[in-house]
Amino acid sequence: MAFDTLLARVGLGKSRPLVNVLRLAGPIGQVGAFRNGLTLASLAGLIEQAFRPKDLKAVALAINSPGGSPVQSALIHRRIRALAKEKGVPVFSFCEDVAASGGYWLACAGDEIYADESSILGSIGVISAGFGFHEAIGRIGVERRVYTQGTRKGLLDPFRPEDPDDVARIVALQADIFESFKDLVRTRRNGHLKAPEEELFTGDIWAGKRALELGLIDGLGDMRSVMRERFGDKVRLNLIGERKGWLRRRFGMTAPEPAQIAAEMLSAVEERALWGRYGL
């Protein structure tokens, strides 16, 4: 008996269909000095690796993200779609706890999208938030001194009263980004959407079953079950992951400075607020 035949019989040979799994978990964009958000810079190598095998049947995206940077969402999405087209490999998205806002943008990189009944999806919209401190600094006797060249350089300064012109400018920027998001959903879910845009593009969120009714996803199910149904019981799900160096695994990172700790705490609060919007 040939060695390849023996391997195939015990489920170790090339006859086992290969599906590479790429995890896209966490906020999108830079979230702190020691907290790696999802960015194209951090994921480019892993995305390339996921599409590299010649005998690849598919790439599965395991998505669990509350969103974040629209630019990084678009860049990651675009790289995945470019390689899928170049290699002729189908992409399947599997939404876990959350695929909202930029997380749903990433999910749209899949030719098909699946979720759990309790997954939270949607939030197709754009948001920016901040604080105003102009009254607080006045009460404690702090004088704000800012010198600029360019009438827009002090846009939305939190230490000045809110300027209606600044707000109008931000709203206009949001509208441009929002239109890009809507265009992407229209294109990627063309023929699948089952509700008017007035309902879908409000920034609302839905659980998996309702998302299926709206056409935002193609089915309910987990990765293993769907991939086994599609490619057979012997399908091999291969997780693509970044391996840490030996020194980092053994000793961890060097101790951060106090200022870095403070910045990291603020980043952790911001990240927690992103997840908190979806009750997680």
Give the model's confidence band at 126: pLDDT under 50 very low, under 70 low, under 90 confident, else very high: confident
pTM of the model: 0.79
Give the model's confidence band at 139: pLDDT under 50 very low, under 70 low, under 90 confident, else very high: confident
Using CB atoms within 10 A of its CB, is residue 145 exposed (0-12), middle (13-18) or buried (19+)?
exposed
The yes/no answer on whether domain 3-123+204-276 falls in CATH 3.40.50.10420 is no
* Rounded distance between C-alpha atoms, residue 102 and residue 99, angstroms: 8
Phi-psi region of 120 (alpha: psi -120 to 50; beta: other; left: phi over 0): beta
Q: Where are the chain's structural domains?
A: 3-123+204-276
* pLDDT, tens digit, 9 for 90 and up, residues 222-273: 999 999 999 999 999 999 985 544 444 444 444 455 544 454 555 555 555 5
Q: How many CA atoms lie within 13 A of 136 on its CB side?
A: 5
How high is the mean pLDDT of the chain? Answer: 83
Q: What are phi and psi of 203, to 5 degrees?
A: 85, 5
**Residue appearing with tokens 């087209």:** 85
Residue 207: name the closest of 276, 102, 118 by CA. 118
- Say how many residues make up the chain: 280
- Is the predicted pLDDT of residue 83 greater than 90, yes or no? yes
Contact assessment for residue 94 and residue 223, using Cβ atoms and an 8 Å cutoff: yes
Residue 70: name the closest of 10, 132, 26, 27 by CA. 27
